[in-house]
Amino acid sequence: MAEIERQDREYGGKIAAVEPGGNDPIPAAERHGKPSQLFWTWTSPNLEFATIFVGILSITAFGLTFWQAVAAIVLGNGLSAVAHGALTGRAPAAGVPQMVLGRLAFGYRGNVLPAGLMTITSGFGWFAVNSVSAAFALSSLTGFPAFVCLVVVVLVQVGVAYFGHNLVQVFERFAFPVLALVFVVGAVFVFLQADPSAVPEGGGTGGIGGFLLTVGAVFGYTAGWTPYAADYARYLPAETSPLRAGLAAGIGLFGSTSALMILGAASVSASAAAGISSENPTTTFVGVLPGVLAGLTLLAIALGAVAANVLNIYSGAMSFLSMGFDVPLRRARATVAAVFGVIGFLIAWAALADAAHGYEGFLLVVVYWIGPWLGVVLTDMYLRRAALPTGLLYDRAHRNPAGVIALLAGIVVSVPLFANQALFIGIVPREFPAIGDVTFIVGFALAAGLYALLSRRTPDRP
């Protein structure tokens, strides 16, 4: 079974060792680390071009001015960071991955739905998005074909994720100062050339619809990390302060995503003023930077994408195992991570052709299930308060139909609200385009309210 006992694992704080097991609980003898490490764990993976590109889309795709974009970015990231911090704070006491914790709200079998969506989103979707971003950056830097760069990026990502939790944490810690320094210096040059008052072609015409589309895209990007929240805090000692853990994770997430998205929004006017335009969005962004800094920024973009995808592969494998599949290997998680790397590479290869439109669509699709999922799990946390019945987490007979019903209702009722320009436009935004995209708001509120109502009538049935 994937959920094997760990008494003989002796993994501890070893770095150059493959993390054994799958998604089983972390025993007290294996607990280590401090809450502060979660700051760089959630800062480093967002110091990449995929984050910057969300800010660029706020103006070029959703028609906002710079200051409108800043407001939408701060709002979307703030909501996401609060949810992420709340989920993170619960992890040390539970000692299990986030998708295993979700079994409380959805039941053992019912959890297959959100865990399956998470597997597709992180193990394949985000993996492809970030791999393409890194490949474009390396291609711009080296002149090598994007495909060759993609192969190199994927090999590094899979290698780190295969070793597991401890190497992932070390990688993020050492990536943080390098990425932070390069992007801070780069931001200075971009803002010196940017004109926040400038209204680029199409900018300023988005109205409230464009604002809500941006909030939805921002929320989709940042809240996309919430199903990973407990994965990197579960090794902390059980007595770790939930507040300290939640603040470290939430601040790291909010600060990094907000800073780089705002940088992306500012880069639109800077690139326009410099007359720079390219089919490769990464090349356009670094075009306003001086030679040496442009090269370092491209390298940092690639490193940041790798930092993000290390988490995507690791947590994607964890989610797959949380669906309840029996993988009778001592290194079940590591094996699944390697397989996901191969599949993700094939998807990323196919996505090289039209990265911009694919990314815009993907961001909005993510939020369509993340919103209702968050509504259910956060409501479940609130209703349980301090109670954490960990005995139910691996009980195959545990049922909680309220969670599945609420999640499905939140997703289904959201369909008429879809405003995904690349894939599908629902009847509401089609008839009332000024409303933009309110899917995540409606999905969250509906799922939360329905779960609160149903859970009182259909309690846990172990």
120 assigned to some structural domain: yes
15 assigned to some structural domain: no
Confidence of residue 8 (pLDDT cuts 50, 70, 90): very low
DSSP conformation letters of 182-230:
HHHHHHHHHHHH--TT---TTTT--HHHHHHHHHHHHHHHHGGGGGGGG
Query: 64-73, 110-119, 282-291: which has the minimum mean pLDDT?
Result: 282-291
In contact, 159 and 23? CB cutoff 8 Å: no
Q: What residues pair up with 420 in beta bridges, in sequence order?
A: 424
293 assigned to some structural domain: yes
Among 451, 80, 54, 430, residue whose Cα is nearest residue 249: 80
394 assigned to some structural domain: yes
Q: Which domain holds residue 164?
A: 33-457
Report the chain's mean pLDDT, rounded to a whole number: 85
* pLDDT tens digit sequence for 361-408: 565 566 678 899 999 999 999 998 777 888 889 999 999 999 999 999
Q: Which residues of 447-457 are buried (b: 16+ CB within 10 A; e: fewer)?
A: bbebbbebbee
22 assigned to some structural domain: no
CA separation for the pair 124, 343 (Å, rounded): 7
Tell me which amino acid residue 231 is: D
Would you mind telling me the total number of residues written for the chain in this entry?
A: 462
pLDDT over 50 (residue 63): yes
216 assigned to some structural domain: yes
Percent of the chain with pLDDT over 70: 85
Tokens representing 246? 């939640």
CA separation for the pair 81, 223 (Å, rounded): 7
CA separation for the pair 242, 107 (Å, rounded): 24
28 assigned to some structural domain: no
236 assigned to some structural domain: yes
Model-level pTM?
A: 0.87
Confidence of residue 34 (pLDDT cuts 50, 70, 90): very high
CA separation for the pair 387, 237 (Å, rounded): 18
In contact, 133 and 60? CB cutoff 8 Å: no
CATH code of the domain containing 213: 1.10.4160.10
Phi and psi, residue 420, nearest 5°: -85, 105
Q: How many domains does the chain have?
A: 1
Which of the two residues, 315 and 254, has the higher pLDDT score? 254
Helices (H), 287-354: 291-322, 332-351
CB proximity list for 281: less than 8 A, separation 6 or greater: 49, 53, 56, 136, 355, 356
